[in-house]
Amino acid sequence: MSEDFPGWHGTTIIGVRKGDQVVIAGDGQVSLGQTVIKGTARKVRRITPGGTEVVAGFAGSTADAFTLLERLETKLEATPGQLARASVELAKDWRTDKYLQKLEAMLIVSDGKDLFVITGAGDVLEPEHDVAAIGSGGNFALAAARGLMEGDHDAETIARKAMAIAADICVYTNGNLTVERIGG
């Protein structure tokens, strides 16, 4: 990408696991440089390859993220019910395939049992403290959610409150949420 091009910026995606509930939430803002292009994008999706219900949220280039989601679906169809294995296989391909190496996105995925962050560096990370966040407002949402985990709130309430805090702080994050839940 040319340094003169302003580049796509922002989003915030959070995954929270508490009790038997996992929630992935994402904001709806798409920005190009200093301009908000769209405020109602859906960056959290529910996929069901091979009968396995998975929720995935993405940050980064939309086209790149959809390519990765399609690849994840293919991996899950080959290994039904094995999100960890499919995620590792995707990360290996992403790291070694010349086409995939150029993709600029990150994913948070969950099947209700496991919660992973998948990166282009070949990482499949299971977050500590049952909270993961990515994107420009990810650190704000992560800090807020970790602070809320000790209370009586369920996973969805924690995710919504953390996203509201991130939207108040990060100019590349808005309060228009897509929330998907598994369990609970």
pLDDT one-digit tens code per residue, 48-88: 887 889 999 998 888 888 888 899 999 999 999 999 999 99
Q: Is residue 69 part of a domain?
A: yes
Q: Is residue 179 part of a domain?
A: no
- Domain count of the chain? 1
Q: Is residue 2 part of a domain?
A: no
Residue 11 a catalytic site member: yes
Q: Is residue 154 part of a domain?
A: yes
Q: Is residue 44 part of a domain?
A: yes
In angstroms, what CA-CA distances link 70 with 6, 48, 85, 90? 27, 11, 16, 10
List 11, 12, 52, 173, catalytic entry? 11
Q: Is residue 66 part of a domain?
A: yes
The CATH number covering residue 123 comes to 3.60.20.10
Rounded Cα distance between 11 and 91, Å, is: 21
pLDDT tens column, 147-169: 999 999 999 999 999 999 999 99
Q: What range does the domain containing 159 cover?
A: 8-172
Q: Is residue 14 part of a domain?
A: yes
